[in-house]
Structure 1
Amino acid sequence: MITYEYPFNERIRTLLRLEDLYEKFVFFLHQEHPQHHHVALSTIFEMLEVAGRADLKSDLLQELERQKQMLLGFKANPNVLSERLDEVLAEIDRSSAALMASQGKTGQNVRDNEWLMSIRGRTIIPGGACEFDLPSYYAWQHRSPQQRYDDISGWFAPLAPLFDAIGMVLRLLRESGKTTTTIAQAGSFQQMLQGKVYQMLRLTIDESLGAIPEMSANKYMLWVRFTLQDGDMKPKPFESDIPFELTLCNF
């Protein structure tokens, strides 16, 4: 099964982009080749571009507090596992406390590092980070894998609370949805939303079908159109009925 996600607003779109960059960063950080660590470092620069919104930190803190207050309302519900609820509340408290303790603008430690900024300025140029452009960076790439790992981890460390909070918020959002199984007749599906506001759509489909969903939505209606890719990777309509799982998520 393969799951596709569609954000309903710019706020969730930004969080999903940062989550995607973080997963990419973690993968390449834990490799050993200098080229892998180059991608990990470049990904930090991409994170700073996406996370540049000054209100992202306050947005996350407000959302975590809102989720905490909502979950506290379930304390007296006998149908709720109290141990599990306490675990989630403790996780929210840890994420909030760490994010609140982080000082300054997101990624300011990287922006204040002239050497890193010189690398960032060259990486936006195609082929701009060659050894003759940045000999000191080329020398750093010849350090041991552990040294490079420690350096990159240290540069990323002030960003970690932000990404922990993003992961917590997205996890709560994904768990908020109720999944239904439905069928797209002749590769097409529509559903009236009747004005109800959602944050994210999650669609799960059997990967072996080869169907690719193209999704769009507003506050009134949701559209899903499935396509196939031919040998030239050009999309063409999927004309058979397609079973899939649909989850509409909202805080």
Structure 2
Amino acid sequence: MGDDGLLCYEQPLNERVRTFLRLEHLTARFHYHAADHSFWGRRATVDAVLDLLNIMSRHDIRGEVSRALVHRRGTLAQLADRDDVDGGALARVLAELDAVSDDMARIPPQFSSYLLRDNELLASVNNRSAIAGGTCSFDLPGYRHWLAQPAARLDADIAAWMSRVSPIENGVTVLLRLLRDAGEMSRQTAGGGVYLHNTAPGTQLIRVMLDAPSVFPEISAGRHRATVRFMSVDPTRGRVRQTDQDISFGMACCRF
């Protein structure tokens, strides 16, 4: 859900924000499953850990987050002398950015690749996860053995695997919060279900807020223009088509 209880759809306009949103999605999934201490909850938690480690092994997320934090801090620090800026609030944000950056600096590079390679349990589960049903007990008896250990042991192992992911998660959370806060929502109307928008230079994220659950937006956006098409689902045939109704919605274009 988005602002004021509206259903929020987001469209990133660059690869960095796209990766950050994926990481936010994966960490939210991890925390949801980590609260479930059942047999299947533990398996879902490990799957979420592996997805996080895999995406971090393929992308230099640690470096991307660190550079984004430094850039954002530099931009905000330039506002310190302006009369229309709340100095106390700015100081708190800068301190938050500094604290997250310090935590990030203590993370070794390529930690996710080493963990996926050197931890035998994670490596075995990761190698079999691409196969449907590939992590059954007869395929991975060692995994079944681990799942049968006391809850304290499982919690400790999961916490150790996530210890270097958490600072990156915190950095992404701060950056996405600041980016979203930088966009002001305005009401728009999509005539016949279509809305065209000229995007301002530097726009990184488009947010569409809806209180009409009968439709959903498909957003295509480039450097200069965005198109929002509102779609509906035919419940009898299961097909998606563009609505021809006028749709009122909220829209925010976010940029630092």
TM superposition score normalised by structure 1: 0.93
Q: What is the identity, as a one-letter code, of the residue corresponding to 1:213?
A: P
Looking at structure 2, the residues matched to 53 and 91 of structure 1 have their Cα atoms a distance apart, in angstroms, of: 28
Q: Does residue 227 of structure 2 align to residue 223 of structure 1?
A: yes
Q: Which residue of 2 aligns with 1:164?
A: 170
Structure 1 position 202, deviation (Å): 0.5
Q: Which residue of 1 aligns with 2:250?
A: 245
Query: Equivalent of 2:119, from 113, 117, 133?
Result: 113
- Deviation by residue 1:65-86 (Cα, 9 ceiling, x = unmatched): 1111111122122322222211
Looking at structure 2, the residues matched to 125 and 151 of structure 1 have their Cα atoms a distance apart, in angstroms, of: 24
1:99-248 paired onto structure 2 within 5 Å = 99-107=104-112, 108-193=114-199, 196-208=201-213, 210-231=214-235, 232-248=237-253
Looking at structure 2, the residues matched to 43 and 104 of structure 1 have their Cα atoms a distance apart, in angstroms, of: 21
Q: Does residue 44 of structure 2 align to residue 36 of structure 1?
A: no
Q: Does residue 82 of structure 2 align to residue 77 of structure 1?
A: yes
- Alignment: residue pair count: 249
Unpaired stretches in structure 1, ≥5 consecutive residues: none
Counting aligned pairs with the same residue, the percent is: 29
Q: What is the identity, as a one-letter code, of the residue corresponding to 1:181?
A: R
Relative to 1, partners in 2 of residues 1:63 and 1:176: Cα closer, same or farther, differing over 3 Å? same
**Contact conserved, 2:62 with 2:109, CA < 8 A, in 1?**
no
**Contact conserved, 2:50 with 2:122, CA < 8 A, in 1?**
no
Relative to 1, partners in 2 of residues 1:53 and 1:134: Cα closer, same or farther, differing over 3 Å? closer
TM superposition score normalised by structure 2: 0.91
Unpaired stretches in structure 2, ≥5 consecutive residues: 1-5
Structure 1 position 110, deviation (Å): 3.9
CA RMSD of aligned residues (A): 1.6
Looking at structure 2, the residues matched to 106 and 147 of structure 1 have their Cα atoms a distance apart, in angstroms, of: 22
Q: Which residue of 1 aligns with 2:3?
A: none
SS at match of 1:52: helix
Structure 1 position 52, deviation (Å): 2.4
- Deviation by residue 1:152-194 (Cα, 9 ceiling, x = unmatched): 1211112211111111111111111122111111111001236
